Structure 1
């Protein structure tokens, strides 16, 4: 680890403080958010320095050890002070990276000195009309004044804590220290950026055309969630936007690896990036095209591992992403797919639970170890606008992988993360499936077949619906005791009731959606459980609450499951000597054929091999 050196640089209004890791070439300059200072960039600095870059992080005037501004400085003045400090450091050309408050000052710098800035990375973009900005500024309020009893200390901590969806004490502590130290300077910086017309400034920069710009933003950044990033996309379609994993306000601290890789890829010569084969989804009218988009091999940051992928698998969700029936919030040029299996080839600096050579599969959610589902967990799902897995080498969180069962192939392990875990959550985690229960399963796709295997191995009686006599014959061999051809018996609710002697079933694995929902409810018996998963027949549908109440029915919307669910499923399948059902397998070059096979109603999973099969 390279040493971080502290320094002072002079500008026309006073001394500015910063941190630096010396390296080669023109530096990467980092501007921080409010109310922290340049110390929040230290993990990111170390990551960038591994590539031997010269990295400079400056304290905004009024923050850290930089001078305290007087009066009411404008965003343009802050930008000028940064440029003067860099001149004092004899920095002429540089790549500029800015986070939240820093984005506004960085744009001022790019507008007046485009010849000095080789690239501009923005994260946390506040783009809105004047009235909206005024309201946001009023909602934030001013810093609490110092009082004799020290009550402002507790108020400040509670305010900083409230700014995070999943606050960690250490991060809230640092935010609080920054807020206390900056005091009125926090209000000065906020006044400057909320009074700035960022849209006009960006228009000028884009019109000049000399500064390359990209946006890199956390999936759960407040300015992503409130629609401002989408507004930015629509206003500036030529600027690439990269969504990274959940970090809320603290992207440099919580996602230094993903943030750093996006910065490095933008700074490097793109023509040199040919080592990592990838497919990305690029937007077109009515959906997405699957496009080869090779890159360099990424490096893992703190808390991350680099996985050499051997196999991936497709899910119904992946088809929905391409045809726009599954929402991805306007994302473009992103890696698809969530299910991968491979071997670890490098680990981040603080990873201790895994080693190079470990065989692992991706967890669907990278930030959902277990327990109750949270928004940061939801935002960490793979392959739906943020990071995906369709590449030779991918970065995964150390807490977002599961060991592969001994004796399983990579292809088999790649089938579990979405479909398998969904079935497990539906029946075991949420449904509390018991021996002797009766389970109704709609269809014969990936989730349905996993549900069949889990139910049969648990000692349950299974009734399956299918329109294919061939598939019905196969699932009977797998243990389904009863099957109904829903084309021949469209009113299958009564048929299910007949098969259960009028009692109804204990569980329905509902994979149909709007067109089958009411019939699934009608098939449930007393205190039965409906696992609501699919939308093959369209999203929506209505539930009649009367039978739910008087029959004490339970309804669960299933959003895949946690890493703990994935691990439990792997253990269960090993214990019962079960293997995933694979419909067909393809090579990397046959990606479109694989998508077509999945779209044509596969019996089980579709797998794509990333390596030559032996």
Structure 2
């Protein structure tokens, strides 16, 4: 049985923590790279990593700078390209040359840019809860989301605020998942603001138009980004769009639903 392992990669600005599982199946398929949402970690993909390692895929899930076990950027990163370049450094250090990439929320933005900027390396792009929207939408959502609501305070009230935030974000009844995401979101209160600052100024519309590889999009109706699925079909009518479940936490809450669409998609790439 394949085992998920944890390790670190030394980048110029600090260490990147990542999870990986090397498939033990006799028939090996192309690697899959999983890019997480804010303010989670690569751990949100462990269920999917187990599913796909059993199908012959080596799987990798790094923690974004400012999240999980990765370093905290000292300054505000200039753009989403900062994060994508670090991911590329990590993946190339691991000897990867071509891979499928799956991104969730902020990770979907970074995955889209990776596919647009490094087309020779990306075999396919899968988006879950993509932030593809107009500039007006970006400004409005940035004003709502880019707020340090759970900055640590002496009385600990930021912990309850984070717990309540998870509840309205569709975390579901799994107490273990909620506890883990509480810890992830409290740890990344500042990293969350830094990536949102970049994501909501990214030319996602233009990036998405430039992606040349096959694309699969998934989203839950109760995901905060569901209202923007319409733009995907507007920009790229040929893209397969599917509905899953799980609020803002689809990879952790609905891995079977995701794999039900993702596995046949991969088989055609």
Q: Looking at CA atoms only, which structure, 1 or 2, has the larger radius of gyration? A: 1
The answer (yes or no) to whether the contact 2:171–2:246 under 8 Å persists in 1 is no
Is 1:182 matched with 2:182? Answer: no
User: Shift of the alpha carbon at 1:26?
Assistant: 2.7
SS at match of 1:216: strand
The answer (yes or no) to whether the contact 2:149–2:161 under 8 Å persists in 1 is no
User: Shift of the alpha carbon at 1:6?
Assistant: 0.8
Which residue of the partner structure matches residue 2 of structure 1? 2
Is 1:155 matched with 2:154? Answer: no
* TM-score of the two chains, using structure 1 as the length reference: 0.41
Match of 1:131 among 136, 158, 165: 136
Which residue of the partner structure matches residue 60 of structure 1? 64
Residues in 1 aligned to 2:70 and 2:194: alpha-carbon distance in whole angstroms: 14
Residues in 2 aligned to 1:91 and 1:134: alpha-carbon distance in whole angstroms: 36
Which residue of the partner structure matches residue 267 of structure 1? 266
The answer (yes or no) to whether the contact 1:11–1:88 under 8 Å persists in 2 is no
User: Shift of the alpha carbon at 1:167?
Assistant: 4.8
Match of 1:107 among 106, 109, 112: 112
Residues in 2 aligned to 1:128 and 1:110: alpha-carbon distance in whole angstroms: 18
Which residue of the partner structure matches residue 90 of structure 2? 85
Which residue of the partner structure matches residue 233 of structure 2? 233
Which residue of the partner structure matches residue 222 of structure 1? 224
Match of 1:36 among 32, 40, 46: 40
Residues in 2 aligned to 1:250 and 1:127: alpha-carbon distance in whole angstroms: 18
Is 1:117 matched with 2:111? Answer: no
SS at match of 1:55: strand
Deviation by residue 1:178-230 (Cα, 9 ceiling, x = unmatched): 1111121111011111111200111222xxx3x22111222432222xx2112
The answer (yes or no) to whether the contact 2:8–2:17 under 8 Å persists in 1 is yes
SS at match of 1:114: coil
Residues in 2 aligned to 1:120 and 1:131: alpha-carbon distance in whole angstroms: 25
Is 1:75 matched with 2:80? Answer: yes
Residues in 2 aligned to 1:122 and 1:16: alpha-carbon distance in whole angstroms: 22
Which residue of the partner structure matches residue 20 of structure 2? 20
Residues in 2 aligned to 1:173 and 1:200: alpha-carbon distance in whole angstroms: 37
Runs of 4+ that moved beyond 6 A: none
Give 5+ residue unaligned stretches, structure 2.
Answer: none
Which residue of the partner structure matches residue 52 of structure 2? 48
User: Shift of the alpha carbon at 1:10?
Assistant: 2.9
The answer (yes or no) to whether the contact 1:9–1:86 under 8 Å persists in 2 is no
Distance 1:6 1:202, change over 3 A: same
User: Shift of the alpha carbon at 1:113?
Assistant: 0.8
Residues in 1 aligned to 2:100 and 2:171: alpha-carbon distance in whole angstroms: 31
The answer (yes or no) to whether the contact 1:143–1:187 under 8 Å persists in 2 is no
The answer (yes or no) to whether the contact 1:75–1:193 under 8 Å persists in 2 is yes
User: Shift of the alpha carbon at 1:166?
Assistant: 4.4
Which residue of the partner structure matches residue 319 of structure 1? none
Greater relative contact order (Cα < 8 A, sep 6+): 2
The answer (yes or no) to whether the contact 2:129–2:223 under 8 Å persists in 1 is yes
SS at match of 2:81: helix
User: Shift of the alpha carbon at 1:40?
Assistant: 1.0
Which residue of the partner structure matches residue 198 of structure 2? 192
Residues in 2 aligned to 1:70 and 1:111: alpha-carbon distance in whole angstroms: 27
Residues in 2 aligned to 1:233 and 1:269: alpha-carbon distance in whole angstroms: 20
RMSD of aligned C-alpha atoms?
Answer: 1.7
User: Shift of the alpha carbon at 1:165?
Assistant: 7.5
The answer (yes or no) to whether the contact 1:10–1:84 under 8 Å persists in 2 is no
User: Shift of the alpha carbon at 1:158?
Assistant: 1.7
User: Shift of the alpha carbon at 1:52?
Assistant: 2.0
Is 1:146 matched with 2:145? Answer: no
Higher strand share: 1
Distance 1:257 1:166, change over 3 A: closer
* TM-score of the two chains, using structure 2 as the length reference: 0.91
Residues in 1 aligned to 2:69 and 2:217: alpha-carbon distance in whole angstroms: 28
SS at match of 1:60: coil
What is the total number of aligned residue pairs between the two structures? 263
The answer (yes or no) to whether the contact 1:31–1:103 under 8 Å persists in 2 is yes
Residues in 2 aligned to 1:159 and 1:231: alpha-carbon distance in whole angstroms: 27
Is 1:173 matched with 2:179? Answer: yes
The answer (yes or no) to whether the contact 2:171–2:249 under 8 Å persists in 1 is no
SS at match of 2:200: helix
The answer (yes or no) to whether the contact 2:171–2:248 under 8 Å persists in 1 is no
SS at match of 2:225: helix
The answer (yes or no) to whether the contact 1:9–1:89 under 8 Å persists in 2 is no
Residues in 2 aligned to 1:213 and 1:110: alpha-carbon distance in whole angstroms: 10
